[in-house]
C-alpha cells in the first residue's frame, strides 16, 4: 500500500513529505511575485512534523488510498490530499490546491475521536490574485458562547494569543451569521491582499494556533462516560453536517473536478464522518433551511450576513447582536 510505505520517510523534518507536491510545482507565472513564491505546502509540512512530535502513533488514514492527487478538468490544476490518524485524532486531513492562475487553497482540519471534547482545528485559506480569505480557528465542539464551562476549559488561556492575531489580521467584515456559532472567541476571520508580510503573519498565526491545539490535545483526558461521548459524537456530526452542506469552497471544487467528484471529496474526505458518526440529517440539525417541498434551501444563510466587527471583546466575551 503506497500510503503506508511512504509513512516511513515521514519522520524527516527537512525533506518535504512524499505525499506533498515538491517546490517545483510552485508556479512563477503569476503577476504578483509575492503571491507566486508563496505556497501553503510549508503550512502542511509544519503541521505534520509538529503532530509527529506530539504523538508517536501518527499513521496514514485508510482514506489516503482513495484521496491523494486529483487532476482538475482544466488539465492543469492539481488537488493534493493527505490524511492521517492517531490515538486521539480520528482524522487529520489536508486539501491543497495550486492553480496556474495564482489561485491557491488550503483546507486543513483535525477532528478528534469522540472520547475527547477537544475543539476541531480548522484552517481554511483561499488565495486569488486579488485577495486572501482566511478562517483560522480552534472551532469549539460545544457551545463556546453560552456554555462558560467549555469556553473556560479550552479558550481562557488562549485569549492573549487570539488578541495578538486579531490585531495583526483584522476582522474580515460581515459573514454568514450561522457560521459564528461554529467559531471560537479566538477565531481569525480576515481578508487581505497578498504581500510577503501578510503571508508571513499568516504562517506564524497558523504555527502558533496549531501548537496551541496540540498542547490541548496533549493535556486532554479520555472521556469514559458514554453519555458524554455520544454528546461529543453528535456535536462533531452536527459540525460535519453544517460544513459538508454549506462549505463556501464547494462551488469552486465543483468547477474544478465536476459535481460527482466534488461531492465525493466533500462527504468522504473533507468532512468524513458525516455519513458515519450519526443518523441525523442536515435538516434535523438546521430545520430553518427546510423549504416548503422538504428540500434543503441552497442559500448559505437564512439569517443573512452580519457581524461587521469582531463580536468578542478583549476578554473573549461575546458582544455580537443576537442571531435573529
Ligand atoms: C468564503 N469561507 C468564506 C467565508 C467564510 C468561509 C466564513 C466568507 C463567506 C461567508 O460569509 O460565508 C469559511 N465558513 C468558513 C469556515 C466555516 C464556516 C471555515 O462556517 C467553518 C465552520 N474555502 C475553502 C475551500 C475553498 C474556499 C476549500 O475552505 C475552495 C475550494 C473558497 N471561501 C472560498 C471562496 C470564498 C470563501 C471562493 C468567497 C466566496 C464566497 O463568499 O462564497
Dist. CA 134 → ligand 1 center (Å): 8
Collapsing DSSP states into helix, strand and coil, what is residue 156? helix
For the Cβ of 176 lying below 6 angstroms from any atom of ligand 1, the answer is: yes
Q: Dihedral of CA 62/52/217/202: which sign?
A: negative
Predicted pLDDT at 38: 79
Collapsing DSSP states into helix, strand and coil, what is residue 290? strand
Predicted pLDDT at 52: 96
Query: What are the residues whose beta carbons fall under 8 Å from the beta carbon of 2, sequence distance 6 or more?
Result: 64, 65, 68
| Residues 151 and 312 sit within 8 Å (Cβ to Cβ) | no
User: What pLDDT, in 10s, does the model give residues 29-55?
Assistant: 444 444 456 789 999 999 999 999 999
Atom of ligand 1 nearest to the CA of 176: 11
Calpha distance 307→318 (Å, rounded): 11
Dist. CA 11 → ligand 1 center (Å): 33
For the Cβ of 116 lying below 6 angstroms from any atom of ligand 1, the answer is: no
The grid coordinates of residue 183 equal: 467559531
Quickly count: other Cβ atoms within 10 Å of residue 310's Cβ. 18
For the Cβ of 104 lying below 6 angstroms from any atom of ligand 1, the answer is: no
User: What pLDDT, in 10s, does the model give residues 177-228?
Assistant: 999 999 999 999 999 999 999 999 999 999 999 999 999 999 999 999 999 9
Predicted pLDDT at 37: 60
Q: Which residues of 209-224 are buried (b: 16+ CB within 10 A; e: fewer)?
A: bbebbbebbeebeebe
CA angle 289, 108, 201 (to 5 degrees): 110
Calpha distance 87→301 (Å, rounded): 36
Predicted pLDDT at 322: 62
| Residue ID of nearest Cα to ligand 1 atom 8 | 175
Dist. CA 84 → ligand 1 center (Å): 24
| Residues 67 and 81 sit within 8 Å (Cβ to Cβ) | yes
The grid coordinates of residue 97 equal: 490546491
Structural domains of the chain in order of their starting residue, each with its CATH number = 13-307 (3.40.1500.20)
For the Cβ of 265 lying below 6 angstroms from any atom of ligand 1, the answer is: no
Mutational pocket test of ligand 1: of 106, 140, 248, 300, the residue with most ligand atoms within 8 Å of the beta carbon: 248
For the Cβ of 122 lying below 6 angstroms from any atom of ligand 1, the answer is: yes
| Residue ID of nearest Cα to ligand 1 atom 13 | 135
Predicted pLDDT at 32: 42
Calpha distance 313→169 (Å, rounded): 16
Q: Using alpha carbons only, how large is the chain's radius of gyration in Å?
A: 19
Quickly count: other Cβ atoms within 10 Å of residue 303's Cβ. 13
Strand positions, DSSP E, the chain: 59-60, 69-71, 78-86, 89-98, 104-112, 120-127, 132-139, 175-176, 188-192, 305-306
Which secondary-structure segment (H or E) carries 199?
A: helix 196-219
The DSSP letter of residue 296 is B
Mutational pocket test of ligand 1: of 124, 253, 261, 282, the residue with most ligand atoms within 8 Å of the beta carbon: 124
The grid coordinates of residue 225 equal: 462516560
Dist. CA 171 → ligand 1 center (Å): 14
| Residue ID of nearest Cα to ligand 1 atom 39 | 248
Quickly count: other Cβ atoms within 10 Å of residue 32's Cβ. 15
Predicted pLDDT at 100: 78
| Residue ID of nearest Cα to ligand 1 atom 17 | 179
Q: Which residues of the chain have pLDDT under 50?
A: 1-16, 23-35, 324
Amino acid at each position: 500500500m503506497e500510503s503506508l510505505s511512504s509513512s516511513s520517510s515521514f519522520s524527516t523534518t527537512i525533506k518535504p513529505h512524499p505525499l506533498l507536491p515538491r517546490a517545483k510545482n510552485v508556479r512563477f507565472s503569476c503577476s504578483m511575485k509575492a503571491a507566486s513564491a508563496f505556497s501553503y505546502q510549508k503550512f502542511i509540512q509544519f503541521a505534520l512534523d509538529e503532530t509527529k512530535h506530539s504523538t508517536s502513533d501518527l499513521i496514514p488514514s485508510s482514506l489516503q488510498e482513495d484521496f491523494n492527487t486529483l487532476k482538475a478538468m482544466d488539465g492543469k490544476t492539481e488537488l493534493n490530499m493527505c490524511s492521517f490518524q492517531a490515538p486521539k485524532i480520528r482524522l487529520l486531513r489536508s486539501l491543497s490546491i495550486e492553480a496556474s492562475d495564482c489561485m491557491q487553497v488550503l483546507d486543513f482540519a483535525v477532528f478528534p475521536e469522540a472520547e475527547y471534547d477537544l475543539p476541531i482545528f480548522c484552517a481554511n485559506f483561499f488565495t486569488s490574485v486579488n485577495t486572501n480569505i482566511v478562517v483560522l480557528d480552534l472551532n469549539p465542539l460545544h457551545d463556546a458562547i453560552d456554555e462558560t464551562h467549555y469556553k473556560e476549559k479550552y479558550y481562557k488561556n488562549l485569549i492573549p494569543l487570539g488578541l495578538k492575531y486579531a490585531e495583526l489580521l483584522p476582522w474580515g467584515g460581515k459573514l454568514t451569521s450561522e457560521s459564528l456559532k461554529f467559531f471560537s472567541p479566538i477565531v481569525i476571520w480576515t481578508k487581505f491582499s497578498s504581500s510577503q508580510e501578510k503571508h508571513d503573519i499568516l504562517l506564524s498565526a497558523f504555527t502558533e494556533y496549531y501548537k496551541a491545539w496540540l498542547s490541548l490535545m496533549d493535556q486532554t483526558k479520555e472521556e469514559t462516560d458514554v453519555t458524554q461521548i455520544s454528546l461529543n459524537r453528535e456535536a462533531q456530526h452536527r459540525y460535519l453536517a453544517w460544513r459538508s452542506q454549506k462549505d463556501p469552497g464547494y462551488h469552486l471544487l465543483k468547477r474544478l473536478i465536476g459535481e460527482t467528484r466534488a461531492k465525493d471529496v466533500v462527504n468522504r474526505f473533507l468532512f468524513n464522518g458525516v455519513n458515519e458518526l450519526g443518523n441525523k440529517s442536515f435538516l434535523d440539525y438546521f430545520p430553518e433551511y427546510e423549504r416548503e417541498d422538504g428540500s434543503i434551501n441552497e442559500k448559505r444563510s437564512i439569517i443573512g450576513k452580519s457581524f461587521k466587527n469582531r463580536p468578542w471583546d478583549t476578554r473573549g466575551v461575546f458582544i455580537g447582536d443576537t442571531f435573529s
